[in-house]
Amino acid sequence: MKKIVLLGGNGYLGRNFTQDWLKHDRDCQFYVLSRSGHNQLTDSHVINIKADVTDEQAVLAAIPDTIDYIVDFVGAPSDDPQEFAKLNQQPAHVMRAVAEERHAKAMGFIGGILGPKKFTTVKKELIVYLQESSVPLAYVEPTLVYGAGRKDKMTRNVPLLKFLGIFSRKFKPVLVGDVVETLRQRLIDLA
C-alpha cells in the first residue's frame, strides 16, 4: 500500500487531489497533516493528523517511517513577512527534509504564475530549491484554479480570465481536476 503524506492537504486543492487519487487507485493511505487535523473527507484511506507542518520534527513524529510520496499544499500570499514564510517557505523546506529523511520516491508542489509578484517569485525559487534535492520533484504552476464548487472573490474573475487567456496562457484559469490529475500523474511517473 502506497503511503502519501499531504502537508496542508485538507484545503481545496488537497481534498481534490486526494479524491482524484482514490478514484484511480485505492491501494494507498493518505496522511493529511494540518493545523486543525480536520478534513471534509471521510474515507478509510485518509488519516487526518493535527500537526505543525512548519516543524520538521513534528511532521516526522506524525508520519510512518517509510513513505512513498509527500506533497506540499500550503501556500498563500500575505503582507506579513513572518506569516508569508510560514505559509510558503517553511512547509516547502520541511517537505524536502522529510522526503530525504524518509527516502520518498517523489515530492509534489504547487507553484503559481498568477498573483502578487512576491508570491510568484518565491514559488519559483522554491521549485528550484526543491529540484536540488535527491528526491525527485513533480510540480504544477497553475493560474487561478476553479471548479468543484469553489466560489470566492477570485473565482468571480474566471470569465474575464478565460477571455484574457485567449491572448496569454498566464491568465487562463485552470480546472482543479486538471491541476490535481497532472500533479498525480507526474508523481507516479517519477516513482
- Burial of 78-90, coded b for 16+ CB within 10 Å and e otherwise, reads eeeeeebebbbbb
SS3 32: strand
Domain borders along the chain are: 2-144+175-190
CATH class of domain segment(s) 2-144+175-190: alpha beta
**39 contacts 48 by C-beta, under 8 angstroms:** yes
Residues facing 16 on adjacent strands: none
> pLDDT tens, position by position, for the chain (191 residues)?
999 999 998 888 999 999 999 999 999 999 999 988 888 888 999 999 999 999 999 999 999 999 999 999 999 888 998 998 999 999 999 999 999 999 999 999 999 887 889 999 999 999 999 999 999 999 999 977 777 676 766 667 666 656 655 666 677 777 899 999 999 999 999 98
